[in-house]
Chains A and B, each alone.
Chain A
Amino acid sequence: MLVAEGLMVFYENMLALNNISIKCGENQIIGVFGANSAGKSTLMYTLSGIILDQMKKEKMRGGEQITVMGEISLFDQDISSLKPHLRARRGIVLCPERRRLFPESSVLENLKIGAYMATKKEAKETLDYVLEIFSPLKKLLHRSAGFLSGGEQQMAAIGRALMAQPKLLLLDEPLLGLSPAYQQVVMESVKRIREMKKISIIITEQFARPVIPIVDYAYIMENGSRVMSGSGQELLDNPDVKAAYFGV
């Protein structure tokens, strides 16, 4: 469904993404692994179109020049120049790094804001669904989102993204700062979301081990370039990868 070809992103003359091509089929989970500054977040911003907003604001401010090249298509339609909110309307919803919940709003209100593009019926159904897979949120609905723990925030953030009725859900470092127990919970729920909602998911993460069991295909990035790709098993079998990304 999503095909990105030859993505290049420059911040001034620093190359953040170097000729990245990535594909995601329907109902697939794709993993993107890499250390800090490998370009994972930049890739997510490029796919979701946020980079265009950054570009516009930097240009207006006369700040650093951001250059974006390459083509992105969704369901065979070119979306490379679409603004982020229009891409969201076509079904690409990003659940950003560090979650970025609306801190002054309650959890319920966060979910409601997420349902901006949904019909009343969809919103209600998705809300029930979110509370079913993330049952701890039920007790926190009226707590303001800024006061949640990391794991709770991540559940709320994924829930909020689901409320936007994504066809392709982008999860940028969803395990960042979570305890192993919560990592397990989040990964289990991602799997369930794929099975029940029949959507595609792209996950980025620094540390591949908790994610690799659920991905269909994965890419490994280093300094903005793709260094390797393959199915989860192929990557697990590769000794270099093992040493660098699985901590074995």
Chain B
Amino acid sequence: MEILIYGTVNSFKLILIAFGFTLVYGVSRLPNFAHGAIFVFTGFVAWIMMHKLNLPFIPAALLSLVSAALVGVLIYQVILKRIRGMNMNEIIATYAIGVAMIETFRWLGFKGTTFTLPVLFEGMVFIGDVPVDYQRLMVVAVGLVMLVAVWVFTKFTKTGLALRGIAQDERAAMMLGIDSDMTATLAMALGSAMSGLAALMLFPLGSIVVEAGYNTLIFALAVCMVGGIGSWGGTVLAAFVLGFLQVITVSYLATHFQMVVTLGAIIATLIIKPSGFFGKHKELEERV
């Protein structure tokens, strides 16, 4: 029972962390390795707004989400736009930006465990005989709302449909008047905001530490690779598989094996089915 509940919570945690990454890659084939840095960035921005500018939590959270989206837009407009299509360069550039962001925070003195975000609702409930605090239930709820929101957005709005079009065949979408730069910018903004949302939901469970930036990136990558990079359904499925694996590892082995299992899953995926659960290797474009 405990494994079931905490496994579910942990799975939604991974969904929150990974979905933004997979969205950006799925739509625009951009691997955003600054994903983890944006996660930490949002946490610190929210903290600064609350403690230096004395804003209440909700406006601080909203503002930090907006700034996360802005960082995403900036990364695309200033850098990625110029190197788009060269995967290795995209990875190196975004990873470098990520490291720079994280290490800047460390350099500015944001280290240790003194930085915390408040939970939205205090208290806990018992499900069966397992105690679960409200914040963890919120993680599940927000994760579900996010998935439903993305589904509605991409099914029923014009812009969302444009994203689906670009994701499946960029040039065919261009022929219909869809601007690839616009959709990529939008995807980066949304993906970064999702990473920020994950931060706002997850940091209250512990404290804001810079190292979380690296761990988050690795978790996001693991989920995306196991699920098939860019596949939205695969991401959700992989989040559940890894989510439960991690919880089982923690309860039967030890906490620090969590990362080993996660990385092991990447390696196992690469050996058994390199494209992941639902991944597809796009065929090379034929010559005209």
Instruction: Please report A residues at the B interface, Cβ cutoff 8 Å.
Output: 16, 41-42, 45, 48, 50, 53-54, 57, 60-61, 83-85, 88-89, 93-96, 100-105, 109, 112-117, 160-161, 163-164
Which residues of A sit under 8 angstroms from B215, Cβ to Cβ? Answer: none
Q: Are A113 and B83 in contact (CB under 8 A)?
A: no
CB distance from A172 to the nearest CB of B (A): 10
CA distance A164 to B84 in the complex (A): 27
| B34 within 8 A of partner (CB) | no
Contact with A along B162-186 (1 / 0, CB 8 A): 1011001101111111111000000
CA distance A83 to B173 in the complex (A): 13
Instruction: Contacts A102-B169, A109-B161, A113-B162 given; indicate if A60 touches B176 (C-beta within 8 A).
Output: no
Instruction: Contacts A45-B288, A60-B85, A61-B85 given; indicate if A102 touches B177 (C-beta within 8 A).
Output: no
Q: Are A100 and B171 in contact (CB under 8 A)?
A: yes
| B281 within 8 A of partner (CB) | no
CB distance from A90 to the nearest CB of B (A): 9
Q: Are B177 and A104 in contact (CB under 8 A)?
A: no
CB distance from B224 to the nearest CB of A (A): 18
CB distance from A10 to the nearest CB of B (A): 13
Tell me which of B155, B171, B179 contacts A50 (CB under 8 A): B171
Q: Are B176 and A109 in contact (CB under 8 A)?
A: no
Which residues of B sit under 8 angstroms from A112, Cβ to Cβ? Answer: 161
CB distance from A223 to the nearest CB of B (A): 15
Tell me which of B155, B158, B175, B288 contacts A84 (CB under 8 A): B175
CA distance A164 to B83 in the complex (A): 30
Which residues of B sit under 8 angstroms from A161, Cβ to Cβ? Answer: 175-176
Q: Are B164 and A102 in contact (CB under 8 A)?
A: yes
Q: Are B86 and A104 in contact (CB under 8 A)?
A: no
Q: Are A42 and B165 in contact (CB under 8 A)?
A: no
Q: Are A42 and B288 in contact (CB under 8 A)?
A: yes
For the complex of A and B, list the 5 residue pairs with the smallest distance between their C-beta atoms, beginning with the closest.
A88-B177, A113-B165, A102-B168, A100-B172, A117-B177
Which residues of A sit under 8 angstroms from B158, Cβ to Cβ? Answer: 115-116
CA distance A105 to B164 in the complex (A): 8
